[in-house]
A = this chain, B = another copy of it.
């Protein structure tokens, strides 16, 4: 009977989305109920962590049984705001912007991109994935008029700040920023940065460290070897 809304970390919110994916697969498989332990096993997480994340949604489970699958899915969706679809504007109709427009599933996850804005006169007036493209200077009045509070930035880095300013002027309260730029916005605006260059940083670092460790391990195996032939396969580097 957990009914108190609890704090949840950003990482916890992302995990809830991951649980949602797993649960939908289970639903297709016909499973009636699921336990936190079961989810933890699939995703290789700690059961107590899964239990705590689920607890944040406020759903009540039954000891020994777990949670009714369909109900849990619904609670997670409600908690994350996915059943309350929010209209959104997109800035930047380049390759990434177009790709994002093609993500049909966003609508099921609470986001519906209704208009696109781009500086390129060749793109303005045309439609991409069924959405019309406008000049950016139309953005503020459009967003204000349609009461839109969610904006996606897929412009080059050089245009990102100006775009963010337009969006804030248009009443946007949450920004999903794909441009590799640091945005300065008022405190009442939520920003989620999806900077691929930042992400790549941790991956290249870890790969390099991993490869270095492997080379070192191989060296330790190979170095003190008397008859090198024996371990030749292990030391092809």
| Chain A interfacial positions (CB closer than 8 Å to B) | 10, 13-14, 16-18, 21-22, 42-43, 79-82, 84, 86, 94-96, 98-99, 102-103, 105-106, 109-111, 149-150, 157, 173-174, 176, 180-182, 188, 190, 192, 194-208, 210-211
Contacts and interface: CB of A to CB of B under 8 A. Distances in A.
A204 B82 CA distance: 7
A109 B173 contact: no
B105 A207 contact: no
14 contacts: A13-B202, A17-B201, A21-B157, A79-B205, A81-B207, A82-B201, A95-B95, A95-B99, A98-B99, A103-B196, A150-B203, A174-B210, A192-B199, A192-B202
Given A98-B95, A190-B210, A207-B149, A200 B173 contact: no
Contacts of A182: 18, 21-22, 42-43
B202 A21 contact: no
A16 B95 contact: no
Given A95-B98, A98-B95, A13 B174 contact: no
Contact of A206 (B42, B174, B199): B174
B197 A194 contact: no
Given A109-B201, A182-B21, A204-B86, A211 B80 contact: no
A174 B80 contact: no
Contacts of A99: 94-96, 98-99
A198 B18 contact: yes
A197 B109 contact: yes
Contacts of A105: 180, 197
A110 B203 CA distance: 10
A80 B192 contact: no
A197 B80 CA distance: 11
A202 to B, nearest CB: 4
Nearest to A213: B188
